[in-house]
């Protein structure tokens, strides 16, 4: 009996391992959860580094809370669990959940690549822009229409370099930034109305 149970258990854990590895950052579903977390949940949970979650049954306890802040996850238990796991990871590691991403060599992101960093239901973006060494840069956003956008540029250590609202002219927003600490950076966008980001360029300024 116990042997059978063991076999069943093994079978099950094998199933979960193959379907959903712990850091399945490369699966589209998980990337989407990371983006949802880092745009929606981040409003309150960014940089929470308090160690483990409060309760052993924290997932069951927090499901309603998660749905209150992200109703689109209703009926999607996997999404609720991923969002929960991302917060656990942030609390324990004091870091953004690892994402699978590539940075274009010329640091010009075209529309198709940028679509990976937004979700189908919101038009917020959370874009890992990769390593920036210290110095001055010009960031340029090209949008599909003129809108106001809240722009954040944050380091992997949660240092905020930019946190401001910009209105585009000729569908462009240009912002000069100065990076003090070399490291990985993330660009977060909250457009005031749904809009697609057509292009992102980051170039060192002269
Ligand atoms: C308006 C602020 C706010 C937003 C937005 C928000 N939360 Fe929370 N959340 C809280 C507060 C406050 C607590 C209770 C204190 C704590 O543990 O940080 C909490 C607790 C939790 C807990 C339990 C933590 C523990 O230690 O037991 C989880 C899990 C959680 N939130 C997940 C999420 C997820 C996922 C999202 C996004 C869908 C989200 N929250 C959005 C404010 C927020």
Give the helix/strand (H/E) hosting 199: strand 197-204
* Distance between CA atoms of residues 107 and 132, nearest Å: 11
Atom 10 of ligand 1, nearest CA residue: 44
Determine if ligand 1 sits within 6 Å of the CB of residue 67. Answer: no
Domains of the chain by range and CATH?
2-93 (no CATH), 108-204 (2.60.120.380)
The string of pLDDT tens digits covering residues 147-184 is: 999 999 999 999 999 999 999 999 999 999 999 999 99
The string of pLDDT tens digits covering residues 94-142 is: 999 999 888 999 999 999 999 999 987 788 999 999 999 999 999 999 9
Q: For residue 68, which atom of ligand 1 is closest to its CA?
A: 38
Report which of 166, 165, 175 is spatially closest to residue 200, judged by C-alpha positions: 175
pTM metric for this prediction: 0.86
Helix (H, G, I), strand (E, B) or coil at 177: strand
Q: For residue 73, which atom of ligand 1 is closest to its CA?
A: 38
Determine if ligand 1 sits within 6 Å of the CB of residue 84. Answer: yes
Determine if ligand 1 sits within 6 Å of the CB of residue 45. Answer: yes
The string of pLDDT tens digits covering residues 70-97 is: 999 999 999 999 999 999 999 999 999 9
Q: Which of 33, 39, 41, 52 to mutate to test the pocket of ligand 1 (most atoms within 8 A of CB)?
A: 41
Q: Which of 37, 44, 121 to mutate to test the pocket of ligand 1 (most atoms within 8 A of CB)?
A: 44
Write down the pLDDT at residue 29: 57
The string of pLDDT tens digits covering residues 4-41 is: 444 444 434 333 333 333 444 445 558 899 999 999 99
Report which of 193, 198, 188 is spatially closest to residue 42, judged by C-alpha positions: 188
Write down the pLDDT at residue 2: 43
**β-pair partners for 143:** 197
The yes-or-no verdict on residue 199 having pLDDT over 90 is yes
* Distance between CA atoms of residues 58 and 64, nearest Å: 11
* Distance between CA atoms of residues 94 and 51, nearest Å: 8
């Amino acid at each position: 009996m116990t042997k059978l149970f063991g076999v069943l258990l093994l079978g099950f854990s094998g199933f979960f391992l193959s379907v959903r590895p712990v850091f399945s950052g490369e699966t589209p579903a998980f990337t989407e959860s990371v983006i949802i977390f880092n745009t929606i949940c981040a409003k309150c949970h960014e940089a929470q580094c308090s160690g483990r979650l409060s309760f052993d049954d924290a997932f069951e306890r927090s499901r309603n809370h998660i749905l209150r802040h992200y109703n689109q996850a209703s009926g999607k238990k996997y999404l609720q669990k991923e969002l929960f796991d991302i917060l656990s990871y942030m609390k324990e590691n004091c870091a953004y959940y690892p994402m699978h991403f590539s940075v274009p060599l010329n640091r010009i992101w075209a529309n198709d690549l940028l679509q990976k960093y937004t979700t189908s239901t919101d038009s917020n973006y959370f874009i890992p822009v990769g390593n920036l060494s210290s110095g001055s840069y010009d960031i340029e956003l090209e949008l599909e229409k003129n809108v106001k956008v809240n722009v954040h540029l944050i380091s992997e250590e949660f240092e905020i370099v930019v946190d401001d609202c910009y209105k585009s002219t000729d569908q462009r927003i240009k912002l000069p930034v100065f990076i003090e600490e070399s490291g990985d950076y993330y660009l977060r966008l909250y457009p005031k109305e749904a809009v697609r980001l057509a292009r992102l360029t980051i170039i060192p300024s002269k």
